[in-house]
A = this chain, B = another copy of it.
Protein backbone atom coordinates (compact mmCIF):
# COMPACT_ATOMS: atom_id res chain seq x y z
CA UNK A 1 0.00 0.00 0.00
CA UNK A 2 1.17 3.53 -0.73
CA UNK A 3 2.15 5.55 2.34
CA UNK A 4 0.42 8.82 3.21
CA UNK A 5 2.32 11.84 1.94
CA UNK A 6 2.93 14.17 4.90
CA UNK A 7 1.34 17.57 4.32
CA UNK A 8 2.03 20.84 6.05
CA UNK A 9 -0.90 19.93 8.30
CA UNK A 10 -0.05 16.29 9.08
CA UNK A 11 3.73 16.40 9.23
CA UNK A 12 4.83 15.66 12.79
CA UNK A 13 7.30 18.38 13.75
CA UNK A 14 7.82 17.69 17.44
CA UNK A 15 9.88 14.47 17.90
CA UNK A 16 9.64 13.43 14.22
CA UNK A 17 11.24 10.05 15.06
CA UNK A 18 7.89 9.16 16.61
CA UNK A 19 6.00 9.75 13.35
CA UNK A 20 4.73 7.13 10.90
CA UNK A 21 2.99 7.67 7.58
CA UNK A 22 2.59 4.11 6.28
CA UNK A 23 -0.93 2.97 5.58
CA UNK A 24 -0.55 -0.38 7.41
CA UNK A 25 0.16 1.36 10.73
CA UNK A 26 -2.70 3.84 10.26
CA UNK A 27 -5.12 0.99 9.49
CA UNK A 28 -3.92 -1.18 12.39
CA UNK A 29 -4.47 1.60 14.96
CA UNK A 30 -7.88 2.53 13.55
CA UNK A 31 -8.91 -1.15 13.55
CA UNK A 32 -7.86 -1.69 17.17
CA UNK A 33 -9.48 1.50 18.50
CA UNK A 34 -13.11 1.79 19.57
CA UNK A 35 -13.56 5.55 19.98
CA UNK A 36 -12.51 8.46 17.79
CA UNK A 37 -12.40 12.00 19.11
CA UNK A 38 -13.91 14.18 16.38
CA UNK A 39 -12.87 17.81 16.18
CA UNK A 40 -14.98 20.37 14.33
CA UNK A 41 -15.55 24.10 14.45
CA UNK A 42 -18.93 25.64 15.14
CA UNK A 43 -18.85 29.42 15.19
CA UNK A 44 -15.26 30.09 16.24
CA UNK A 45 -15.37 27.38 18.88
CA UNK A 46 -13.69 23.99 18.45
CA UNK A 47 -15.64 21.01 19.77
CA UNK A 48 -14.24 17.53 20.44
CA UNK A 49 -16.79 14.73 20.69
CA UNK A 50 -16.12 11.03 21.27
CA UNK A 51 -17.86 8.63 18.94
CA UNK A 52 -17.62 5.13 17.51
CA UNK A 53 -16.43 4.63 13.97
CA UNK A 54 -15.36 1.97 11.53
CA UNK A 55 -12.71 1.93 8.83
CA UNK A 56 -13.68 0.26 5.54
CA UNK A 57 -10.84 0.26 3.00
CA UNK A 58 -9.62 3.86 2.91
CA UNK A 59 -12.68 5.51 4.43
CA UNK A 60 -13.44 6.30 8.07
CA UNK A 61 -17.19 6.18 8.73
CA UNK A 62 -18.90 8.09 11.55
CA UNK A 63 -22.56 7.79 12.41
CA UNK A 64 -25.12 9.16 14.78
CA UNK A 65 -28.40 10.87 15.32
CA UNK A 66 -29.51 13.71 13.04
CA UNK A 67 -30.00 15.72 16.26
CA UNK A 68 -26.34 15.76 17.22
CA UNK A 69 -24.43 19.01 16.93
CA UNK A 70 -21.51 17.13 15.45
CA UNK A 71 -23.45 15.58 12.61
CA UNK A 72 -25.45 18.71 11.88
CA UNK A 73 -22.19 20.64 11.60
CA UNK A 74 -20.26 18.02 9.66
CA UNK A 75 -22.97 17.39 7.07
CA UNK A 76 -22.19 20.84 5.73
CA UNK A 77 -18.87 19.23 4.73
CA UNK A 78 -16.69 21.36 6.93
CA UNK A 79 -13.15 20.47 7.86
CA UNK A 80 -12.89 17.75 10.46
CA UNK A 81 -10.14 16.09 12.48
CA UNK A 82 -10.59 12.51 13.71
CA UNK A 83 -8.10 11.30 16.29
CA UNK A 84 -7.86 7.75 17.64
CA UNK A 85 -5.52 7.10 20.56
CA UNK A 86 -4.45 3.79 22.10
CA UNK A 87 -2.73 3.99 25.46
CA UNK A 88 -0.12 1.24 25.91
CA UNK A 89 1.66 2.16 29.12
CA UNK A 90 2.98 4.65 31.64
CA UNK A 91 6.67 5.47 31.41
CA UNK A 92 8.27 6.13 34.79
CA UNK A 93 11.63 7.85 34.35
CA UNK A 94 14.07 8.79 37.09
CA UNK A 95 13.34 12.49 36.50
CA UNK A 96 9.82 13.90 36.64
CA UNK A 97 10.66 15.67 33.36
CA UNK A 98 11.16 12.45 31.37
CA UNK A 99 7.96 10.79 32.56
CA UNK A 100 5.93 9.88 29.50
CA UNK A 101 3.37 7.52 28.06
CA UNK A 102 3.59 4.76 25.51
CA UNK A 103 0.81 5.26 22.99
CA UNK A 104 -0.19 5.01 19.34
CA UNK A 105 -2.38 7.72 17.83
CA UNK A 106 -3.73 8.50 14.38
CA UNK A 107 -4.79 11.97 13.25
CA UNK A 108 -6.98 12.15 10.13
CA UNK A 109 -7.82 15.49 8.50
CA UNK A 110 -10.37 16.08 5.78
CA UNK A 111 -13.92 16.89 4.79
CA UNK A 112 -16.72 14.47 5.65
CA UNK A 113 -19.52 13.76 3.16
CA UNK A 114 -22.91 12.37 4.05
CA UNK A 115 -23.75 8.87 2.78
CA UNK A 116 -27.33 8.62 1.48
CA UNK A 117 -27.28 5.27 -0.31
CA UNK A 118 -29.22 2.70 1.75
CA UNK A 119 -27.19 -0.27 0.55
CA UNK A 120 -23.92 1.44 1.50
CA UNK A 121 -25.39 2.45 4.87
CA UNK A 122 -26.53 -1.10 5.64
CA UNK A 123 -23.12 -2.51 4.70
CA UNK A 124 -21.31 0.05 6.85
CA UNK A 125 -23.59 -0.46 9.87
CA UNK A 126 -22.85 -4.20 9.70
CA UNK A 127 -19.14 -3.41 9.46
CA UNK A 128 -19.45 -1.08 12.44
CA UNK A 129 -21.02 -3.76 14.66
CA UNK A 130 -18.38 -6.22 13.43
CA UNK A 131 -15.57 -3.71 14.17
CA UNK A 132 -16.74 -3.25 17.76
CA UNK A 133 -17.55 -6.92 18.49
CA UNK A 134 -16.26 -9.35 15.84
CA UNK A 135 -18.88 -12.05 15.31
CA UNK A 136 -21.81 -9.98 16.51
CA UNK A 137 -23.26 -8.80 13.19
CA UNK A 138 -24.50 -12.33 12.38
CA UNK A 139 -26.63 -12.36 15.56
CA UNK A 140 -28.01 -8.82 15.76
CA UNK A 141 -31.23 -7.91 14.01
CA UNK A 142 -30.07 -5.76 11.05
CA UNK A 143 -31.20 -2.16 10.68
CA UNK A 144 -34.65 -1.76 9.11
CA UNK A 145 -35.63 0.96 6.66
CA UNK A 146 -36.74 3.38 9.37
CA UNK A 147 -33.50 2.95 11.31
CA UNK A 148 -31.42 3.38 8.15
CA UNK A 149 -33.27 6.58 7.33
CA UNK A 150 -33.02 7.89 10.86
CA UNK A 151 -29.29 7.31 11.30
CA UNK A 152 -26.92 9.70 9.62
CA UNK A 153 -23.72 8.26 8.18
CA UNK A 154 -20.69 10.36 7.32
CA UNK A 155 -17.67 9.27 5.31
CA UNK A 156 -14.23 10.77 5.88
CA UNK A 157 -11.78 9.59 3.21
CA UNK A 158 -8.33 8.67 4.50
CA UNK A 159 -6.36 11.11 2.35
CA UNK A 160 -4.40 13.05 4.96
CA UNK A 161 -3.31 11.04 7.97
CA UNK A 162 -0.36 10.61 10.27
CA UNK A 163 0.61 8.44 13.22
CA UNK A 164 2.52 9.41 16.32
CA UNK A 165 3.67 6.77 18.74
CA UNK A 166 6.04 6.00 21.56
CA UNK A 167 7.14 2.62 22.86
CA UNK A 168 9.86 1.19 25.05
CA UNK A 169 11.62 2.14 28.29
CA UNK A 170 12.21 5.63 29.72
CA UNK A 171 14.91 7.88 28.27
CA UNK A 172 16.64 9.35 31.28
CA UNK A 173 19.52 11.78 31.09
CA UNK A 174 22.95 10.26 31.85
CA UNK A 175 23.39 12.36 34.99
CA UNK A 176 20.14 10.95 36.45
CA UNK A 177 21.12 7.28 36.21
CA UNK A 178 22.36 7.19 39.79
CA UNK A 179 19.11 8.64 41.13
CA UNK A 180 17.81 5.93 43.50
CA UNK A 181 14.37 5.42 41.95
CA UNK A 182 13.00 2.40 40.08
CA UNK A 183 12.34 3.28 36.43
CA UNK A 184 10.45 1.41 33.77
CA UNK A 185 7.04 0.93 32.19
CA UNK A 186 3.63 0.00 33.60
CA UNK A 187 1.87 -1.64 30.61
CA UNK A 188 -1.80 -0.71 30.20
CA UNK A 189 -4.48 -2.24 28.05
CA UNK A 190 -8.24 -2.10 27.67
CA UNK A 191 -9.56 -5.38 28.97
CA UNK A 192 -12.94 -7.05 29.20
CA UNK A 193 -14.57 -8.57 32.24
CA UNK A 194 -17.19 -11.33 32.18
CA UNK A 195 -20.25 -10.23 30.15
CA UNK A 196 -23.44 -9.31 31.99
CA UNK A 197 -26.62 -10.48 30.26
CA UNK A 198 -29.75 -8.38 30.62
CA UNK A 199 -31.62 -11.46 31.93
CA UNK A 200 -34.39 -11.22 29.34
CA UNK A 201 -35.31 -13.58 26.50
CA UNK A 202 -32.27 -15.31 24.99
CA UNK A 203 -30.01 -13.60 27.55
CA UNK A 204 -31.07 -16.18 30.13
CA UNK A 205 -28.84 -18.55 28.11
CA UNK A 206 -25.03 -18.51 28.14
CA UNK A 207 -23.28 -15.51 26.58
CA UNK A 208 -21.76 -16.24 23.15
CA UNK A 209 -17.98 -16.83 22.76
CA UNK A 210 -17.45 -13.43 21.11
CA UNK A 211 -18.66 -11.89 24.41
CA UNK A 212 -17.01 -14.23 26.94
CA UNK A 213 -13.71 -14.22 25.03
CA UNK A 214 -13.70 -10.55 24.07
CA UNK A 215 -10.19 -9.14 23.71
CA UNK A 216 -9.36 -5.85 22.05
CA UNK A 217 -5.62 -5.75 21.77
CA UNK A 218 -3.67 -8.80 20.59
CA UNK A 219 -1.92 -9.33 23.93
CA UNK A 220 -4.81 -8.55 26.29
CA UNK A 221 -6.57 -11.55 27.79
CA UNK A 222 -10.29 -12.13 27.35
CA UNK A 223 -12.13 -12.52 30.64
CA UNK A 224 -10.74 -10.41 33.44
CA UNK A 225 -10.92 -10.96 37.18
Which A residues have a C-beta under 8 Å from some C-beta of B? 9, 13-14, 34-35, 37-41, 44-50, 52, 64-65, 67-69, 79-83, 85, 87, 90, 92-97, 99, 101, 103, 105, 107, 109, 125-126, 129, 132-133, 136-137, 139-144, 147, 151, 169-170, 176-198, 200-203, 205-208, 211, 214, 216, 220-221, 224-225
| Copies in the assembly, this chain | 2
The chain B residue sitting closest to A214, CB to CB, is B186
The answer to whether B183 touches A203 (Cβ under 8 A) is yes
Tell me how far the C-beta of A19 lies from the nearest C-beta in chain B, rounded to whole angstroms. Answer: 13
A46 partner residues in chain B, CB cutoff 8 A: 39-41, 46, 79-81
The answer to whether A48 touches B44 (Cβ under 8 A) is no
Other-chain residue from B85, B151, B211 in contact with A92 (beta carbon distance below 8 A): B211
Cα(A184)–Cα(B200), bound, Å: 9
Whether A47 touches B96, Cβ cut-off 8 Å, given contacts A65-B14, A184-B195, is no
